[in-house]
A = this chain, B = another copy of it.
Amino acid sequence: MIQPRPRTIPEATVARLAVYLRALTTFAEGGRSTVSSGELAEAAGVNPAGLRKDLSHLGPCGVRGVGYEVQTLRDRIARVLGVERSRACVLVGIGNLGSALADYAGFGSRGFEFVGLFDAATARIGQRIGGQTVRPLDELADVVATTQASIGVITTPADVAQSVCDRLAAAGVRSILNFAPVPLVAPAGVDVRKVDLSVELQVLAFLGQQRLDDAAVDGAALGEPA
């Protein structure tokens, strides 16, 4: 049995496909019917050749000499990414960040719907955020089972993140997005993806500092007084 096309799309490509999808939506709203790889690449902030290679994973979907049909390409990327059907998500840890995510309009428009918000603090239970009511952690397994939620988001403090991860996995969640600054271990069959905001800031700060240091050294090499 020959696979006509390898189903394994590189993760970096998947991430960019999501960006292309958003750019294509903007083009469609602007009334454009076709775009070239150059235009789309500029809108997405990537290299045109790389964009074409990314799209090649979906099979031929452009017309040579013309470009890509906006609507067709948009639909195809959406189907590959699975945006066509809505995905139920649960969110654990309703602090500042959790509240912001629960209320973030950008998720709903991309097919992600929060069907359950959970927190351990009794003070938070009952609060209404983004159309949902915060529930106690005890109800997590029930909600995941009844809603068939496949994605869990962890915005708890670091010390309870692993325990929450275990409970999510046990309840049947298949994918976890972790904002807590600890590496999580999950059973096989459960994907974990980490977003670490402090690390992003520290990398940024380091790059800025490094640039200053380099400039200082270059200046010294050019004969500046010590």
Contact = CB atoms under 8 A, between A and B. Distances in A.
A151 B104 contact: no
Interface string A179-199: 001010000010101011111
A14 B204 CA distance: 10
A18 interface: yes
A205 interface: yes
A97 B104 contact: yes
Nearest to A181: B22
A207 B44 CA distance: 22
B110 A202 contact: yes
**Most chain B CB within a 10 A radius of its CB, from A7, A176, A191:** A191
Contact of A45 (B106, B111, B183): B183
**Most chain B CB within a 10 A radius of its CB, from A11, A177, A201, A203:** A201
**Most chain B CB within a 10 A radius of its CB, from A99, A183, A203:** A203
Q: How many copies does the complex hold?
A: 2
A175 B204 CA distance: 6
B104 A197 contact: yes
Interface string A198-226: 11111111111111011001000100000
Contact of A205 (B82, B99, B195): B82
A87 interface: yes
A123 interface: no
Contacts of A9: 206, 210
Interface in A36-56: 43-45
Interface in A121-172: 150-151
Contacts of A201: 89, 107, 110, 112, 151, 177
Given A96-B99, A183-B44, A151 B204 contact: yes
Given A96-B100, A191-B207, 7 more contacts: A7-B210, A14-B202, A19-B183, A82-B205, A112-B198, A151-B204, A175-B205
